[in-house]
Amino acid sequence: MGIESFFANKQGFVATKLDNLINNVVNWGRQSSLWPYPFATACCGIEFMGVVSNTHDVARFGAELVRFSPRQADLLLVAGTITYKMAPVLKRIYDQMLDPKWVIAFGVCAASGGFYNNYSVVQGIDRIIPVDVYLPGCPPRPEAFFDALIALQEKIKGEKITRHDREQRPQLRPESDTSWKVPVVDPAQRAIRRGE
Amino acid sequence: MVATFDVKERLRQRFAADVLHADRAGGMESITVKKDRIVEILGFLRSEPDLAFDFLSDLGGADGMRLDWPQWRDRFQVVYHLRSMKHGRRLRIKASVPESDCRMPSVTGLWKSANWMEREVFDLFGVHFDGHPNLKRILCHHKFVGHALRKDYDIHQGQWLDETESMMDEIGEYGENPDDGGFSELVPVNIGPAHPATHGTLRLFAKLDGETVVRVSPEIGYLHRGFEKHSESGSWTMVIPYTDRLNYCSAMLNNVAWCHGVEKMLGIEVPERTQYIRVIVSELSRIIDHAVCVAAMLVDLGALTNFWYLFNLRERIYSILEELCGARLTSTYVRIGGLAYDLNEGFIDQVRAILRDIPKNVGDVIALIKKNRIFLDRTVGVGAVSKELALSYSWTGPCLRASGVAFDLRKSDPYLGYENFDFEIPTYEDGDVYSRAMIRFDEIVQSMRIIEQALDRLPSGPIFSEDKRVHLPDKDKVYGSIEGLMNHFVLVYDGIKVPKGEGYHPIEAANGELGFYTISDGSGRPYRVRCRPPCFTIYSGYSEIAAGSMIADAVPILSSFNIIAGELDR
């Protein structure tokens, strides 16, 4: 919270100039070294393997350091269909990621449910978690993914680091099912974690 | 001996009161029986030497609520597809289950693979199986209300879930000592579903003693996308895109499996050129599938270099397929009665070029691992599966052949003219992770042989059957004649009308026997589509095979099965 809270309380011309400078530098760092967490569930996950492999090489965009721990990642890539059974897992992983964090809905299934309009599939992950970039395609081509990545980088460029990240986050879809609770940890599993 | 073969009569002699109906539809004997003595009936069919239906190919359900067939007496039917490994025959047994008494005996005592398949029937149709060791939902989540594949369940009725299942009922009390207040020295560990080693959608819950897995229980269904329900809501052609996304590593093979099954029900023979093209794209898909499987497995073992080598190969085949059909992964190339397009210009040269390069690509990988001490230590003798165990779990495909059973539908029940190609079925004896990895390399070589022969002999000619029931007429006929116009109109509006009946015509997919059990009521929409996914049965053996291994070995065992979640959960 160092830089962000320091500049949040400063006023005046010099502070504003400095603020802009710091803002640009920090955002440049953030946009050029995104650490993705590939939440790959289905076909799009296979195509994401094509994105990281040598032919297309996501390293050209500084996002090649794939992390499988949500605590080390700042870009959640939801690649694949999210079912109702998977929804609590996705929500939990998103909540475990530290701010600042961004989400790309990779493919139509993640963006809208795709052509799986049925009893089992969540009709868009924006009913559960906020989404920054929607990437259509079934699955999207690797080039399309790079387009989405550049769009996200542009978005990050315009963000204010002094504002709390939560306020800048995109909204959930309005017709979201509000009766749905935030998932809770199973008491039995909590007992295991504590070693009880 | 074969001349006297009559399953129907043998069953009538022995179980006269239980046999309700028998017919022969779609090239397979189909017998409807009463549900109460199903275990005796299947046991009889299995143990009699002249019948020897010892392989449970598939077990599924069907809801006859909107079906007015006289032979369909009760609402539900539980369908068993049997195969005799000795005689190479297939048989369909259907147990009739009324809605009022929705329970029947479990056959888990006869085949271990019945465990998961019966759970699936329970989950999706609500048929209870008495004597089942662990009858609970498998594809839908544990708080789901109702049964999704019943005809009166609305396809759009989703049900939110707020917490994942604890699975403590399966694993929780295991190893606890009641005298010690329930204390256990075993450590429960949850792996997945969002875990790199479980490839995204599989969940394992294990109890460990130190580093040894004492007991492990998989949970699946995280990618259950309602393929079967969707297939029943559209026309026969509209199923093709959904089949792409079953085994998304080899979408062409799924397309071929679906269209082949429907063509058999229609009684259509596709032109020779189509058959050859289907064989070529199938084998290309098989190569990709095997390459991805081995690549992912080697990544799990820490050998990332091989991943790049094999993915180079995959990318090149994808660019060929993309030029052919416009999509990299999800091809939707095959049509009922033919193909979407003919081969593009230069396809043959591209394929020949890649066939020249595959030995180099694959050879590099083999050279890196074949004498690699780490690879050998971690794979040889790990997760060994005996022939008997593999058959009891209804394994097919490379995993079964790695255990020493030379069962390949391309040889045993040839389709698409596979009998005209010269190729071998590689087998290994040990059934360990090493065999399951190496057999995939051997199969890549065999697939290359098939492609070479197919390219050499590729005939010219039409790519679509001339049958009016499936073939859209040429535009000049549509605009120039009333017959053509009507034919076009009917095909577009009503879709392909498959005659009443049922069919099951499996093919050899990359993971094993892939078939669609379909019921048609003649309306132009599939009444029931049941997919027989090869990795479902393979994965059902995991908890028995991985128990007792080291936790580090449990991961390569899992990846050597090549579990594709889209196919597993459908």
Q: Residues B133-173: pLDDT tens digits?
A: 888 888 888 888 888 888 888 888 888 887 777 777 777 66
B71, B25 Cβ separation under 8 angstroms: no
From the candidates B120, B143, B161, which should be mutated to test the interface with A, based on the most A CB atoms within 10 A?
Answer: B161
Q: What is the per-residue pLDDT for B153?
A: 87
Of B86, B103, B130, the domain-final residue: B130
Sign of the dihedral defined by the CA atoms of residues A163, A164, A170, A176, in that order:
negative
Rounded-to-integer distance, Cα B469 and Cα B80, Å: 30
User: Residue B175 domain-assigned?
Assistant: no
Residue B412 binned pLDDT confidence (cut-offs 50, 70, 90): confident
Lowest mean pLDDT of A97-111, A175-189, B302-316, B404-418, name the range.
A175-189
- Cross-chain residue pair A47–B223, CB shorter than 8 Å: no
Helix (H/G/I), strand (E/B), else coil: B445: helix
Select the residue of A39, A55, A181 nearest B194 (Cβ to Cβ).
Answer: A39
Work out the pLDDT band at A196, boundaries 50, 70, 90.
Answer: very low
Query: What are the chain B neighbours of A93 within 8 Å (beta carbons)?
Result: 194
A45 interfaces chain B, CB cutoff of 8 Å:
yes
A68 contacts B245? CB cut-off 8 A: no
Tell me the per-residue pLDDT of B273-282, one tens digit each, with 9 for 90 and over. Answer: 999 999 999 9
Banded pLDDT at A168 (limits 50, 70, 90): low
Q: How far apart are CA A120 and CA B233, in angstroms?
A: 15
pLDDT value at residue B4: 45
Choose between B172 and B269: higher pLDDT.
B269
Per the domain annotation, does B230 fall within a domain? no
Residues B274 and B125 in one domain: no
pLDDT at B327: 85
Q: Specify the CATH number for the domain of residue B266.
A: 1.10.645.10
Q: Give a yes or no: residue B155 inside a domain.
A: no
pTM of structure: 0.86
- Specify the 3-state DSSP secondary structure of B557: helix
Q: Tens digits of per-residue pLDDT, B320-377?
A: 988 888 888 888 889 888 888 888 888 899 899 989 888 888 888 888 888 888 888 8
How high is the pLDDT of residue B280? 92
Q: Is pLDDT at A173 greater than 80 in this prediction?
A: no
Calculate how close chain B gets to A83, using CA atoms only, in Å: 6
- Return the residue matching tokens 């019948």: B51
Q: Report how far residue A80's alpha carbon sits from residue B73's, in angstroms, rounded to the nearest whole number.
A: 41
Nearest chain B residue to A117 by CA distance is: B156
SS3 of residue B507 by DSSP:
strand
Taking CA atoms, what residue in B is nearest to A109? B225
Picking from B199, B241, B329, the nearest residue to A47 by CB comes out as: B329
A and B: number of Cβ contacts within 8 A: 149
Best to test chain B binding among A119, A123, A127, A190 (most B CBs inside 10 Å) = A119
A166 touches chain B (CB under 8 A): no
Does residue B126 sit in the same domain as residue B245? no
Q: Does position A24 have pLDDT exceeding 60, yes or no?
A: yes
- The contacts of residue B318 (CB under 8 Å, 6+ apart) are A50, B288, B328, B329
| Residue B414, in any domain of the structure | yes
Q: With respect to residue B217, please indicate whether it lies within any of the assigned structural domains.
A: no
B321 shares a domain with B460? yes
pLDDT at B331 (0 to 100): 87
On whether any CB of chain B is under 8 Å from the CB of A46, the answer is yes
Query: Which of B221, B229, B315 minimises the CB distance to A118?
Result: B229
Least confident span in A25-39, A70-84, A149-163, B241-255: A149-163
Categorize the per-residue pLDDT at A1 as very low, low, confident or very high, splitting at 50, 70 and 90.
Answer: very low
Phi and psi angles of residue B417, each rounded to the nearest 5 degrees, phi first: 75, 25
Say whether residue A195 is in contact with chain B using an 8 A CB cutoff. Answer: no
Domain carrying residue B45: 4-130
Chain B residue with CA closest to A181: the answer is B162
Q: Which of residues 50-69 of A touch B (CB under 8 A)?
A: 50, 53-55, 68
Query: Is some CB atom of chain B closer than 8 A to the CB atom of A116?
Result: yes
pLDDT tens digits, one per residue of B527-566: 989 999 898 999 988 988 888 888 888 888 988 888 888 8
Domain count, chain B: 2
What is the percent of chain A with per-residue pLDDT over 90, rounded to a whole number?
A: 6
Q: Are residues B249 and B109 in the same domain?
A: no
* DSSP strand pairing (A102-106 vs A75-79): parallel
B239 in the same domain as B114:
no
Give the minimum alpha-carbon distance from A143 to chain B in angstroms, rounded to a whole number.
12
Say yes or no: A141 contacts chain B, CB-CB below 8 A.
yes
CB contact under 8 A, B160 and A50: no
Chain mean position to CA A192: 29
Residue where one domain finishes, among candidates B130, B152, B184: B130
Do the Cβ atoms of B245 and A49 come within 8 Å?
A: no
Distances (CA, A) of B395 to A39, A192, B91, B119, B129: 30, 35, 18, 18, 22
Per the domain annotation, does B116 fall within a domain? yes
In order, the DSSP letters of B15-78 are -TTTEEEEEEETTEEEEEEESTTHHHHHHHHHHSTTT---EEEEEEEEE-TT---TT--SSEEE
Q: Quick one: tokens of B448? A: 């290359």
User: Would you state the structure tokens that stand for residue B473, as one six-digit string?
Assistant: 């007429």
A145 to chain B nearest CA, in Å?
A: 14
| Cβ atoms within 10 Å of A177's Cβ, excluding its own | 12
Q: Which is higher by pLDDT, B551 or A5?
A: B551
Q: Which of A37, A54, A76, A120 should we substitute to test contact with B (largest number of B Cβ atoms within 10 Å)?
A: A120
Nearest to B495 by CA among B338, B341, B336, B339: B336
pLDDT of res. B279 = 92
Average pLDDT, chain B: 86
B311·A50 Cβ contact <8 A: yes
pLDDT tens for each residue of B94-108: 888 888 888 889 888
Q: What is the dihedral angle through the alpha carbons of B570, B91, B49, B387, rounded to the nearest 10 degrees?
A: -20
Question: In chain A, what residues touch B308 (CB-CB under 8 Å)?
Answer: 53-54
* Cβ-defined contacts of B177-186 (< 8 Å, 24+): B185/B209, B186/B214
> CB neighbours (10 Å) of residue B8?
15
Please give the pLDDT value at position A87.
Answer: 87
Q: Which pLDDT does position A194 carry in this prediction?
A: 47
Residue B36: which CATH number?
3.30.460.80
Which of A11-25, B219-233, B275-289 shows the lowest mean pLDDT across its residues? A11-25
B456 Cβ neighbours under 8 A, 6+ residues apart: none
Residue-wise DSSP of A103-129:
EEEESHHHHH-TT--STTB-S-GGGTS
pLDDT at B340: 86
Residue at a domain's end among B75, B99, B130: B130
Is there a domain that residue B297 lies in?
yes
CB-based contact B329:B251 (threshold 8 Å): yes
ipTM > 0.90 for the complex: no
Q: How confident is the model at residue B3 (pLDDT cuts 50, 70, 90)?
A: very low
Residue B2 predicted with pLDDT over 50: no
Query: How far is residue B190 from each of residues B2, B202, B226, B383, measured CA to CA in Å?
Result: 52, 11, 26, 20
For B466-514, write each residue's pLDDT tens digit.
Answer: 888 888 888 888 898 888 898 888 888 888 888 888 888 899 988 889 9
pLDDT value for A184: 47
Kindly report the CA angle at B196 between B194 and B201, in degrees rounded to 5? Answer: 45
Q: B542 lies in a domain?
A: yes
Most distant CA pair in chain A: distance in Å? 57
Mean pLDDT value of segment B303-316: 84
Shortest Cα–Cα distance, B231 to chain A (Å):
11
Task: Give the residue with greater pLDDT, B302 vs B173.
Answer: B302
